[in-house]
Structure 1
Amino acid sequence: MKPEAEAEYREFVSARLDQLGRFAFLLCRDWHRAEDAVQKGLVKLYLHWDKTTIKSPDAYVRQVIVNVVREEARRHWFKRERSSDRLPERHHPDPGEAGSERLTMLDALSRLPKRQRIAVVLRIWEDLSVEQTAEIMACSPGTVKSQTARGLQTLRGLLSETIPEEVTT
C-alpha cells in the first residue's frame, strides 16, 4: 500500500475505532467479541483500502462487522477460549456502570431477532439513513423500514413488560 493510502487508513481507523466498537457491542453484547469483530472488519478493509471498489469505507466495515457477528452466532465457535492467570485489561466502560435504564434497554435489544436488532442499531443508535442501512444489511430499503418498525414495536413491548406503568405514563 502506498504511504499516503496507509496514512488515510490510519486516520480513518483512529477517528472511528470507538464508534465501531460500540456498534459491534450493541450487536453482540460482549466487549471481547465486539473487539474481535471490529478487528476482523478493519483487517478486511485494510486489504481493500486502496482499491476503487469501496464506495463508503464506513458502510463496508460495518457490513463486515455485521457479517462477522452473524457468522459467530451461527457457529458458536467463539467458545474456544484459553484460560489465563491474568485478567484482560478493560479498555471500555463497564455497561453495568451506566444505570438500570441502560441495562434494561440493552437487555431488551439483545432479545430482538438478529435482523431487527441490526436494523434498529444501525437506524437508531448509529443514525444511518435507510439507504445506508440497506447497503450494510445487503437488503432493500423496504426491508430496512419493515425490520426497523418491527424491531421498535417489539422493543416497546419488551420495555413495557419491564418498566413499571407509572414510569411510562
Structure 2
Amino acid sequence: MDLAPKQLKAQDASTLKSTAESRLKNFMQDVTGRALVMMESATQGQHGIAMDLVQEAFISLHKSYSDRSTEEWYPLFYTILNHKLQDWRRKEARRAQPFSFFKKIQLDDESELDDLVDETTPSPLEFLDQAVTAEEIQQAISQLPVRQQQAFMLRAWEGFDTHTTAQIMNCSEGSVKTHYHRAIQGLRASLAHLDPFLGGSSE
C-alpha cells in the first residue's frame, strides 16, 4: 500500500534535485565570465587560481544554499567567492613571509572616508560609451588594489548597492564608498591618456 507514496517521494526528490542542478547551470553560465574577470584581476592574471576559486565558490553555493532562490544566489555566491579569495591571499602572504603569523596581515588599507557618496560619482560604465575598450578597462582594473577592484566590479558590473556590497566584502558601507571612489579615480588616471574626457576629476 505504501509503495506508491514512497515512489512518488523519490520522484519528487529527483525532480527537485534536477531543478536545482538546472538552475545552478543557468546561474553559472550567467556569472562565470564576470567572476573569472574579477578573480583574474585579484590574482594578477593567474587563470588557474581564478578558475579554482570560482569553481570552489560554486560548489559551496550548491552544497549549502541549493534551496535558495536564484536571486538570493547572487550576493551569496560573491560573499563565498570573497571569502575564498581572502583565504587564498592570506596563504600567499604567509608563503611569501614565513614568519608573518607573528603579526596581523594587513591585506589592504581599510581607512574610511564616510563623507564620500559613491552614488554621486559618474558611472564607470560610461567609459564604455567613449573611446576606451573593455579590454583597456579590464587592464586598468587589474592595476588597482584588490579591494578597490572588488568594490568597483561588485558595484558597477554586478549592480549591487552599497549595503549589499559591504555585506559581500565583509566591511562597512563607508569602506565600500571609499574603495569605489578610489577605484574610479584610479581608473580615470589610468585611462586618461586614451580619452581626454576621462582626465578630469570627479571631485
Same fold per TM (> 0.5)? yes
Larger radius of gyration: 2
* 2:53 pairs with 1:17: no
Unaligned 5+ runs, structure 2: 1-12, 94-131
Write out the 4+ residue segments of structure 1 that deviate beyond 4 Å after TM superposition. 166-169
SS of alignment partner, residue 27 of structure 1: helix
Alignment CA distance shift 1:167-1:159 (3 Å):
closer
Q: Describe how 1:74-113 pairs up with structure 2 within 5 A.
A: 74-76=90-92, 101-113=133-145
Which one-letter code corresponds to 1:14 in the other structure?
K
- Corresponding residue for 2:188? 156
Judge conservation of contact 1:120–1:152 (CA < 8 Å) in 2: yes
Which one-letter code corresponds to 2:191 in the other structure?
L
Measure, in 1, the Cα distance between the counterparts of 2:67 and 2:27. 20
Q: Describe how 1:66-145 pairs up with structure 2 within 5 A.
A: 66-76=82-92, 101-145=133-177
- In the TM superposition, what is the alpha-carbon distance from 1:50 to its structure 2 partner? 5.4
- Corresponding residue for 2:37? 26
Unaligned 5+ runs, structure 1: 78-99
The farther-off stretch of 23-32 and 109-118 is: 23-32
Choose which of 41, 54, 57 in structure 1 pairs with 2:57: 41
- In the TM superposition, what is the alpha-carbon distance from 1:168 to its structure 2 partner? 6.8
Choose which of 61, 64, 76 in structure 2 pairs with 1:60: 76
Alignment CA distance shift 1:19-1:33 (3 Å):
farther
Alignment CA distance shift 1:115-1:168 (3 Å):
closer
Measure, in 1, the Cα distance between the counterparts of 2:30 and 2:147. 20
Size of the aligned set, in residue pairs, is 143
Measure, in 2, the Cα distance between the counterparts of 1:57 and 1:65. 12
Instruction: Determine what percentage of the aligned residue pairs are the same residue.
Output: 22
Choose which of 2, 15, 18 in structure 2 pairs with 1:7: 18
Measure, in 1, the Cα distance between the counterparts of 2:14 and 2:135. 43
Measure, in 2, the Cα distance between the counterparts of 1:13 and 1:71. 24
- In the TM superposition, what is the alpha-carbon distance from 1:60 to its structure 2 partner? 1.3
SS of alignment partner, residue 59 of structure 2: helix
RMSD: 2.9
- TM-score, length of structure 1 as denominator length: 0.69
